[in-house]
Every structure is written in structure tokens, then in C-alpha cells.
Structure 1
Amino acid sequence: MREIAFLPATELLKLYRERELSPVEATEAALRQIELYNPRVNAYVLVDAEQALAQARESEERYRTGKSRGRLDGVPASIKDLFLTRGWPTLRGSRVIDPDQEWQEDAPVAARLREHGSVLLGKTTTPEYGWKGVTDSPLTGFTGNPWNPTRTAGGSSGGSAAAVALGMGPLSVGTDGGGSVRIPAALCGIVGLKPTYGRVPLWPASPFGTLAHAGPMASTVADAALMLNVLAEPDVRDWTSLPPDHVDYVDDLEGGIEGLRVAFSPDLGYVSVQPEVQEAVRAAVRVFEDMGAKVEQTDPGFGDPVEAFNVHWYSGAANALRAYSEKLREMMDPGLIEIADEGAEYSVSEYLEAVGRRSELAIHMGRFHAEYDLLLTPAMPIPAFEAGREVPAGSPHRRWTSWTPFTYPFNLTQQPAASVPCGFTSAGLPVGLQIVGAKYEDALVLRA
């Protein structure tokens, strides 16, 4: 059972087609992992074993009759609890959302997974409204790292990352407004992709506006590419989504990277990176050279855009909480309340100034990618730290952006960026390499 639970989706589908494995067996294996490990790491906020097994039996029958459906028929998957999912409450890590209401809509990502035959296991944990780079909330407590449950899984898609890493379903879908797919992917040792903004339709619109992306989380790049083929299908409810690019992301993986112009920035010119992280990332960069890429160490040439990011992010938090009374706010994460209160104080001119700085950064990176196909950086400057904290112990900073400087710049620019595993520290904690591409070059990021 354990071995089945760790098979990637691409292998499961092959075995299903050859009638060597059943979707029921794969679903039972994932549910067994949930039973064993969810009490230790707290990755799932909701598990619907009865529905999952019913969907698996339906898939099994489709394979038996030669009528399999879509690209993910019978593959177990989970959904972060920020996405509406028909029949299940979407509580967003919050005690102020009433679960006792009708839940009849699927968000686009949930709809696409369902249409393609995926077996939906349940919903994964998130900090309240997905507001920070770790996963803890007043509703669910904290989510632990699969490699050491006393350490953070990262966030805000920490439940999804921990679930994938522990074989609790090979696929999950997360959100990324400032790194929330890539941060936990790096800290948990899985693959996470933030696609180009609009590549994956979102509905309802995020309160954090055009910083917010949705993306695949998986144990392999091939699985992430397969999932993106599904998630990127159009949905009329997102008027900002991109038209189909008619790329098969799985087929495009075979293109190789020989001759690509690759920039490697070990610290963006201003970040302090833990030595073991530096070592693992440099080793990964040498692999790019061995595969024929033309690698040059250089910084992209921008300063830390955290102030512009904070204006956008804190304003989004104010937007998310604008309808809640003071009584309800007392039930919410104090950190979220703090940034929302700050965001509510920004003037229109301050917000527009931040929009201008964001535009300048995006133009700067567009010009940078005229010279370089890809940018490589560490995904995180540090490994996972103590769970239940927003920042590492002893940090002089209060907010999560102080230790995630490699991720949020590319939410501002809306570029595709992925975290892929590239090694471990001496303490056995994963290290991630970030691969950033020019806007719309999602296929190239995956291929690399």
C-alpha cells in the first residue's frame, strides 16, 4: 500500500490503462497514508473517504469498459481550502465562516479536476485567508513539515505540500500570492509551480487581486505538467484569464535545455542565504551546465520590492476583512488583523505609487529576459524552522516576507516560477531551487 501511495500520477495512469492497478487501490493507499500521517502533520482539514472511494469505483468501471475520462481519471488529488468545492465547506482557515450553508459551486480548479476524472480526497489546510508564508490558523492549528513535524511546512499551501510529500494523494492544487506554492514546495521537498498570472483561471476573484495565482503541486515535474494541462483550461468566470496557449506541457518536457541562456543569482544581490542552502543550489546549477545550458552568474538588478508588495498585500487583506465586525475580528488571526488595519490606512496615491513601482519591476524583468531565458535562484534562503511561528526564532522581523525574499518579487511581475527539490541540509530538511521564466513561458520553466 505504501509503495502505491508514492507512485506519481503519470505512473498510476499507465498502470490503470494496463489493468495492473485499480483506482480503488490507489485511493485506498492514499487514504491509508492520511490515516497514518495526518494526525502527525495536520495537512487535511477535511477528508471525504466515502466520496473518494465512490469516485474511485466509478473510475475503475470506466477503465473496465474502455471509457476512461479526461487526463486524470482515477488519480487521487486534494484541494487547498481556499477553493470552492461542491459539497464541501470552504472555511479558508477561519472561524468566522459558517460551514452550515449550501456549497454548490466548484471553483475552476475543482471543476477541471472533477471533469478529468480525478478522485477528490479532501481539502488541505491554509492560514486564515492564505495571508502568510506558514500554515497555521485559529481554526486548524499548525501544519508540520513531513520531514520533521516540529518544523513548519511553509505556506500558505502547506497542507497541500505536506500531503503530497507523505503520499496522501499525488496531486494537490494550491494558491500563490507571494510564494504560497513555492515556499512549502521548497520546505517539504516537492515540485510547485506558480504559473503566469491568468494561466489558471480563478473564481471567485482573490481579495489579494492580481498577486494571486493558482498552481499545481506534485512529487514530479511531469505530474505538475500533467496537472497544468488540466488546470489551464478556460473558464468564463475569470475575465482576467489567458486564452489557451495550445501547449501540451507534458509533451514539451522532452525539449531539453541545451543552449538556453540561464542567469544564476545566488542572492538577488541583497539576500543572506544559509550556507547549506547555497551549497545545494550551486550543485543544482552545475547540472544545468552539464546538460548544455549556458549559465552565467549575474543578478537581475533590482532592489528588494517588499514595500511595494506590502502595499498590495496589506490592501488585499483589508479588502478581505472589510465586511467583518469588530466582534468577528476578535476571532481571527491577530497578524492578519494587523496587516489589514495597516492596509486600510493606505491612501489612493500611496497605492498607485506602489502600482507604478510594480510596473517598473515587471518592465525591468521583461528586459532581463530578452537576454536570459531563465533565472535560477534559491527558492528559500533558509530551511524549515520551528512550526507555529511566523518568523524564525531570534529574527528581528515580524512578518513572513522577511524570510521569503526570492518568491514575492515574481508575484508582482506575474512571471512563471517553480520550486524543485535540489537536496537536503545536514539536518535532513529539503532545499528548493527556484526556476523563473519570462511571462507566458510556463512550458520552458517546466522543461528546465
Structure 2
Amino acid sequence: MPIDLHRSATDLATAVRAGDVSPVDLVEASLDRIEALNDRTNAFVNVLHEAARERAAAAERAVDAGEDLGALHGVPVAIKDLSYTKAGVPNTAGIAALEDNVAAETSVAVQRLEDAGAIVVGTTNTPELGHTPRTYNELQGPTGTPFDPERNAGGSSGGSAAALGEGLVPLATGSDVGGSLRTPASCCGVASVKPTHGLIPREARPNAFGSHTPFGVLGPMARWVEDLGLLLEVMAGRDDRDPFSVPKPDRYDDVSPADPEGLRLAHSPTLETFAVDEAVREVVADALGTVEDAGATVDPAELDGPDRGDLTYAYGVAATVHFAVVADAVQHEHGLDFTGDDADDVSDTFVQTLAMGRGYDATTYRETDEVRTALYDAVESALSGYDALVCPTLATPTLSHDEPFPTEIDGQNVSGLPMDWMLSWVFNMTGHPVVNVPAGLVDGLPVGMQLVGPRYSESRLLDVAALFERENPWAGAYPRVES
């Protein structure tokens, strides 16, 4: 019987340990599906055919020998072609000039996946250094959402999200500086976790302190909420190479739907800051209605935060400085010049982002922390007495590959910047953990919503997400394209 890669990774891992599913067959099913369907969305950059088959054969021998097996034994996983590296595998970070760059080391997160028995089948597409919420680069081209490949998968973890939505793999990884886990999850109808800063370690060098502003994090992506918990459990926990990493404060692999009785949710359709398409607001409200009907309390939220202009400016400074610093390190390491000889090999938005970031001085950069503080206080106030704050992830469904970011949303004029389209980046500024789950469809395109909680509340947020999944199931919405 063919293996359904839309099946939950938790079920597949259980079946492998029981001897009911062969790791070799499971990996072959993933590789076959990638081979047949990757041209549709352009999710994968590199596919590790032989390495994955070798690990699958070793995984099968371990099952046959009765060895102790990890939580992800034999399960295929895709890794984002950015902060996740596997020794001997190309690592481009979406930069055409790094097409032949090969990772010298395996990153902490990938090592933890492999130690748990997961089998990396390939790397997934991302814009240069993950700088934009649209997945496109001069090396690989655009990545489309499985719901309509002519529309973008979102960014910057678009390749991972598309691979999940297309059923190429059951698990994938991403990273997030302003919404890069949640935006593509929303565009591709999958789930993701932006964890609290430090929960998943990253051993960034030469600058181990470079991810603190804004809060750049690694995180898991999956189609099923229980799989998010399983992947987070494997990835989380302190590593002394990351000065921000923290001991794991909870377990995440025992997800169960929250009891709606006593569950209190605060709902803000616009965060009192954004213009949001009416159809998106209605889909999120309908999803909330399903858990309210089950017994949960849903109240309007008041978010008394900074002025929109101050907030946008503060994030713009912090984010562009972040990318400029990271780009400078890449240029130095590889002998590149993104504003000179190598400018033609990167996207215009990348060059513009670096130019903006290099235009700010250190004082301006640090002063943005005052705006962040006021925003943090506002979110904490909105969360007081509630399990989660709920809001849309994006102001509209996903856009086509070449479509400009909106200049009008819900009848309101906006600036045409990505920050008007995304409701995600505000929580990078504050550091709150967020679980993105599908809310429903608008004109056949997926709409995501964010479940925001206090720091280190990931376990509770996953249970709340599982309740939404039970009351508002999305598994049947995926396009089932046969390989």
C-alpha cells in the first residue's frame, strides 16, 4: 500500500518503531514524490537522494536489530537552506554566488533531528538571507503555494511550507525574524511555532549575539499540531554554543486539545494597527466561533501600543540593520560584494534592505528598544487573564509571484511595504511565542491565524492550537496532487 505523506509524522514514527512501516519505503515515498512534484512549487533546492537512502537503510537495520529508536526514527524531514546546515551538503542561503558553497559542519538543530532518527531528504528554498516575506531568489526562482503555484508560498521559509502543503515531507524547519515561520505557513495552509527566543539554540558564528534584535529564532513546521510538538521537543533545549539558549522549561510532545471550558481567548482582528481584508477577518472569526461553540470564552482585545508610524520605523531599523550585519559577515567570509560586482546576482529588494540597514547609526538602532518596550507592555496587558491573544497572520491571502505588496487593504491606503501586509513582525519585537494555525480559505487560498502567548507558554499554545484543529479541521483542505 502506498505511504501517504499527508499522514501525521507522529503516526508514521510510531508505525516505524512498531515495524509496520519501513524507513526505506517511507524515504523512497518522499523522494519519489519530490521527484514527481517539485517542479510544481519549486520547494526544494537540493535533494539528498543517496545520503537519505543510506540513512534509511541504516534506520531499517536498527529496527530489525531491536535497537533503541529515537522519536523521529525513519521520518523524512526538509531543512531550510539558511541557518540549518548539514556537513557536506550545499548551503546557499538563497544567494546565487553561493551555489557551490558546501557546509563544513552540521548545525545544532539538524544534529538533534538526526540524533532523534529523522532523515534529511533535502534543503528548501528561501530568499537571500531570509530578508523578505516572499520566497524568490536569483538562483532558484520563486516558490509557489500548493494551493495555486502561480501565487507565492510566502517567506522566508516558503520552500519548507510548500513542501509540507504538497505532501512531499511530513516535517520541515524554518526560521523567523519578522514572520518567516508564520507567513509561509499561512500562505501554504500549514502550522508553525515561533518559539520564545533561546528555546531552540543556534550556534551563529562569527557573531553569536547577532540574533537578539529583532528576535530571530528557529522553529518547527508541520501539517499537524501534534507533529509541531514532537519536532519542538526534539529541537529545544540549551546548547552552550548559543549564549541566549535556555534549558527546556516544558515538554512539548504530549499535545492534546485544550479543554474549552475555562479557556479564555482575547481576539484582535487588526491589533488596532493594521488594515485587514474583511474576508480574512471573517475566516478568523469563524474559526474562533468553533471553539467558542465548544465552550471557550472569546473576548475583544484592547492593544494600546505605540503609534503605528513609530512601531513601523522601529522594526524597519532593527530588521534592516540585522540583515546588513549578517550580509557583511557573509561578504567577508566568501569574498562577495552585494552592492558592487555581485549585485546583479541578488534581488533588488535584498540590495535595498542592505542599503537601508547601513544607513542607521548605533544610537538610532538602540533607541528603537524604547518602542519595543512599550509594545511588549501592551501585549502583556492584552494577555492578562487570557490563555492566548488571537489575530490574523496576514492582511490578505497570498499574493502572486510578481504582485506588489498592497497599497490598499480593506479600503484603506497603505504604504505598499511588507510590514503593512504582515501582522507577524510585532511579536518578533516583543519576543512572545506564537503558534500559527490554518483558519480557513478565502477564494480557495489558505488564511492563517496567530495564537500568541506569554514567554515560554509553547506547551499551552500547542494545546490551544490542537483544539482549533479538532473543532476546525484543515487536513482535508490540502490539494491532493498524485505523484
* Aligned-partner Cα distance in 2 for 1:402–1:198: 28
Q: Which residue of 2 aligns with 1:201?
A: 201
Q: Which residue of 2 aligns with 1:314?
A: 320
Q: Secondary structure at the match of 2:32?
A: helix
Q: Which residue of 1 aligns with 2:437?
A: 420
* CA shift for structure 1 position 143: 0.3
Q: Which residue of 2 aligns with 1:400?
A: 418
Q: Are the counterparts in 1 of residues 3 and 26 from structure 2 also a CA contact under 8 Å?
A: no
- The AA in structure 2 aligned to 1:308 is A
Q: Does 1:256 align with 2:259?
A: yes
Match of 2:369 among 350, 355, 369: 355
* CA shift for structure 1 position 96: 2.8
* Aligned-partner Cα distance in 2 for 1:417–1:113: 22
Q: Does 1:218 align with 2:222?
A: yes
* CA shift for structure 1 position 252: 4.6
Q: Which residue of 1 aligns with 2:389?
A: 375
* Aligned-partner Cα distance in 1 for 2:99–2:210: 19
Q: Does 1:285 align with 2:301?
A: no
Q: Which residue of 1 aligns with 2:232?
A: 228
| Aligned CA distance change for structure 1 residues 220 and 431 (closer, same or farther; 3 Å) | same
* CA shift for structure 1 position 399: 3.0
Cα offsets for 1:186-216 (capped at 9, x unmatched)? 1100111101111111121485544211111
* CA shift for structure 1 position 320: 2.1
- The AA in structure 1 aligned to 2:457 is E
Q: How does 1:428-443 map to 2 (within 5 A)?
A: 428-443=444-459
Q: Are the counterparts in 1 of residues 314 and 368 from structure 2 also a CA contact under 8 Å?
A: yes
Q: Which residue of 2 aligns with 1:62?
A: 62
Q: Secondary structure at the match of 2:256?
A: helix
Q: Are the counterparts in 2 of residues 87 and 104 from structure 1 also a CA contact under 8 Å?
A: yes
* Aligned-partner Cα distance in 1 for 2:8–2:209: 30
* CA shift for structure 1 position 299: 3.0
* CA shift for structure 1 position 372: 2.2
Q: Secondary structure at the match of 1:180?
A: coil
Q: Are the counterparts in 1 of residues 179 and 424 from structure 2 also a CA contact under 8 Å?
A: yes
Task: State which drifts further: 209-218 or 410-419.
Answer: 209-218
Cα offsets for 1:30-76 (capped at 9, x unmatched)? 11211121111100000011111111111112122221432101010
Q: Which residue of 2 aligns with 1:153?
A: 153
* CA shift for structure 1 position 416: 0.7
Aligned residues: 444
Q: Does 1:446 align with 2:465?
A: no
Task: State which drifts further: 24-33 or 392-401.
Answer: 392-401
* CA shift for structure 1 position 357: 1.1
* CA shift for structure 1 position 289: 1.4
Q: Are the counterparts in 1 of residues 407 and 416 from structure 2 also a CA contact under 8 Å?
A: no
Q: Are the counterparts in 2 of residues 133 and 401 from structure 1 also a CA contact under 8 Å?
A: no
| Aligned CA distance change for structure 1 residues 271 and 107 (closer, same or farther; 3 Å) | same
Q: Which residue of 2 aligns with 1:13?
A: 13
Task: State which drifts further: 124-133 or 26-35.
Answer: 26-35
Q: Are the counterparts in 2 of residues 208 and 312 from structure 1 also a CA contact under 8 Å?
A: no
* CA shift for structure 1 position 394: 7.6
Q: Does 1:237 align with 2:241?
A: yes
Q: Are the counterparts in 2 of residues 253 and 443 from structure 1 also a CA contact under 8 Å?
A: no
* Aligned-partner Cα distance in 1 for 2:42–2:212: 28
Q: How does 1:57-136 map to 2 (within 5 A)?
A: 57-82=57-82, 83-97=84-98, 99-101=100-102, 103-136=103-136
* CA shift for structure 1 position 389: 4.4
* Aligned-partner Cα distance in 2 for 1:143–1:98: 17
Q: Secondary structure at the match of 2:341?
A: helix
Cα offsets for 1:303-345 (capped at 9, x unmatched)? 4322111110111122122244322234222211112111111
TM-score (norm: length of structure 2): 0.88
* Aligned-partner Cα distance in 1 for 2:366–2:2: 52
Cα offsets for 1:238-267 (capped at 9, x unmatched)? 11012221x221225355343122101111
Q: Does 1:268 align with 2:276?
A: no
Cα-Cα RMSD: 1.9
Q: Does 1:340 align with 2:357?
A: no
TM-score (norm: length of structure 1): 0.94
| Aligned CA distance change for structure 1 residues 307 and 80 (closer, same or farther; 3 Å) | same
Q: Are the counterparts in 2 of residues 71 and 116 from structure 1 also a CA contact under 8 Å?
A: yes
* Aligned-partner Cα distance in 2 for 1:202–1:431: 30
* Aligned-partner Cα distance in 2 for 1:42–1:354: 37
* Aligned-partner Cα distance in 1 for 2:99–2:424: 33
| Aligned CA distance change for structure 1 residues 207 and 292 (closer, same or farther; 3 Å) | same
- The AA in structure 2 aligned to 1:153 is A
Q: Secondary structure at the match of 1:140?
A: coil
* Aligned-partner Cα distance in 1 for 2:407–2:383: 37
Q: Secondary structure at the match of 1:137?
A: coil
| Aligned CA distance change for structure 1 residues 77 and 164 (closer, same or farther; 3 Å) | same
* CA shift for structure 1 position 6: 1.4
Match of 2:398 among 384, 405, 414: 384
| Aligned CA distance change for structure 1 residues 208 and 363 (closer, same or farther; 3 Å) | same
Q: Does 1:185 align with 2:185?
A: yes
* Aligned-partner Cα distance in 2 for 1:392–1:35: 35
- The AA in structure 2 aligned to 1:420 is V
Cα offsets for 1:248-295 (capped at 9, x unmatched)? 212253553431221011111132222221221111111221333221
Task: Flag structure 2 segments of 5+ consecutive residues without an equivalent.
Answer: 465-483
| Aligned CA distance change for structure 1 residues 188 and 100 (closer, same or farther; 3 Å) | closer
Q: Are the counterparts in 1 of residues 226 and 255 from structure 2 also a CA contact under 8 Å?
A: no
- The AA in structure 2 aligned to 1:401 is M
Cα offsets for 1:98-138 (capped at 9, x unmatched)? 6255x231111111111111011010000000000010011
Q: Secondary structure at the match of 1:443?
A: helix
